[in-house]
Amino acid sequence: MDRIRIVGGNKLNGTIPISGAKNAALPLMIAALLTDETLILDNVPRLADVAQVQRILGNHGLDIMSAGKRPGDHEYQGQTLHISAKNIIDTTAPYELVSTMRASFWVIAPLLARMHEAKVSLPGGCAIGTRPVDLLIMALEKLGAELTIDGGYVIAKAPGGLTGAEIDFPKVTVSGTHVALMAATLAKGTTVITNAACEPEIVDVADCLNKMGADITGAGTPTITIKGVARLHGARHTVLPDRIETGTYAMAVAMTGGDVQLSGARPELLQAALDVLVEAGATVTPNNEGIRITRNGAGIKAVDVATAPFPGFPTDLQAQLMALMTTAKGASHITETIFENRFMHVQELARFGARIHLDGETATIDGIGKLRGAPVMATDLRASVSLVIAGLVAEGETMVNRIYHLDRGFERLEEKLSACGAQIERISG
């Protein structure tokens, strides 16, 4: 199994190209099920999760072609996928394909909207109620679907097609908003989603669906209106840049010091996180190429942050901020309000010598002068990269194990960091 070896102490200087957003690419690929024409997606990142969605779509009978390099392409440019769902030959998404990734459950929406039936495994053996698969099911039932759960599968039927409805989410859910949005595009009549998620990835998916002939207004606000259409057609769409990758590298620069241009990044996608970085002592300068992050000389200041749905501070950057705060002057506090059990990285950061105390959903981090390199283990996608950030400044050698989590969400992480002066390498086997 691959590992990443880091020798800490180097500042980061140079340019890091920001890849396409994983959290937009996955639902955009799934949206291809809604039309029998070809959907072309540009700037799709090369990630394990993207490859898994390709396998899932292939199982439904979709043809997916990845275009080769073109003159002038640079090495980190995302791939172009041509996805054709001309003939959907299977409306079942089996457990062995869905179990590894929660987002794969979303195929239930376009299958139900276009084929009027779907049989999709519950993701990862997920019990209804723990994470909001229950809200996804509620949204589909509001649109007129008949759903039963049998043997770990959700069996959905809508013999006469879906019908527009009012869907009021009791809490903000990105997954629920994606599912309701896709399902409603082909429903008869008008659907109004209230308390919708406002994340930029929702806007990106809605923009693409509108290019395909959907009639969606209000994406990016808490109220989205979808007027159903009879059919969707093919389109071409470029995936927006990854705000979580942007924030991760920005925190790595704040941690190590240096001067890095994050090319292709869009500041409006993560303003709350950039504001926190400025408060912590980094200099953030948006420019025509993206965002420039610098920290020269000044120490890291302690900050207090609570995660929140967009436009608040993203839960997906919480672990990275915690790594940054381990060497801050004074005590900082991070409150996780979105997901339970999202502090698994704390015990691994402690292996570097970090002083972190947990009290319910709040972590108190007492900054220390220096971290020490250590062997550590990645526990989940976002937590993994917090260990890399800590390793970049830790004295001596850090070995990050179980890095398959990193490959799910960060494209060529070690290559991008080493190009800016980090001493980091992947060790295979």
What is the model's pTM? 0.95
Residues 210 and 289 in one domain: no
Residues 220 and 262 in one domain: no
Question: Domain range holding 162?
Answer: 22-238
CA–CA separation, 93 and 116 (whole Å): 15
Q: For residue 102, say whether it is annotated as part of any ligand binding site.
A: yes
Q: Which of 238, 258, 278 is the last residue of a domain?
A: 238
Question: Is 126 labeled as catalytic in the residue annotation?
Answer: yes
pLDDT at 1: 85
Residues 15 and 87 in one domain: no
Residues 79 and 217 in one domain: yes
pLDDT at 74: 64
Q: Which of 238, 264, 280 is the last residue of a domain?
A: 238
Residues 30 and 62 in one domain: yes
Residues 204 and 284 in one domain: no
Q: For residue 205, say whether it is annotated as part of any ligand binding site.
A: no
pLDDT at 30: 98
- Please name which of 225, 178, 233, 228 lies closest in space to residue 200, comparing C-alpha atoms: 178
Average pLDDT over residues 333-355: 92
Residues 190 and 292 in one domain: no
pLDDT at 75: 62
Q: How many domains does the chain have?
A: 2
Residues 26 and 56 in one domain: yes
CA dihedral 33, 39, 40, 46 (to 10 degrees): 0
What's 203's domain CATH number? Answer: 3.65.10.10
Residues 127 and 88 in one domain: yes
pLDDT at 73: 65
Residues 373 and 412 in one domain: yes
pLDDT at 32: 98
Under DSSP, is residue 356 helix (H, G, I), strand (E, B) or coil? Answer: strand
pLDDT at 273 over 50: yes
Catalytic residue of the set 126, 198, 208, 420: 126
pLDDT at 341: 75
pLDDT at 269 over 70: yes
Question: In degrees rounded to 5, what are phi and psi of residue 348?
Answer: -75, -40
Under DSSP, is residue 154 helix (H, G, I), strand (E, B) or coil? Answer: strand
Q: Which of 210, 238, 266 is the last residue of a domain?
A: 238
Residues 362 and 283 in one domain: yes
pLDDT at 72: 66
Q: For residue 131, say whether it is annotated as part of any ligand binding site.
A: yes
Q: For residue 23, say whether it is annotated as part of any ligand binding site.
A: yes
Residues 68 and 9 in one domain: no
Q: Which two tokens stand for residue 383?
A: 């937590």
Of all residues in the chain, what percent carry a pLDDT higher than 70?
96
Q: For residue 22, say whether it is annotated as part of any ligand binding site.
A: yes
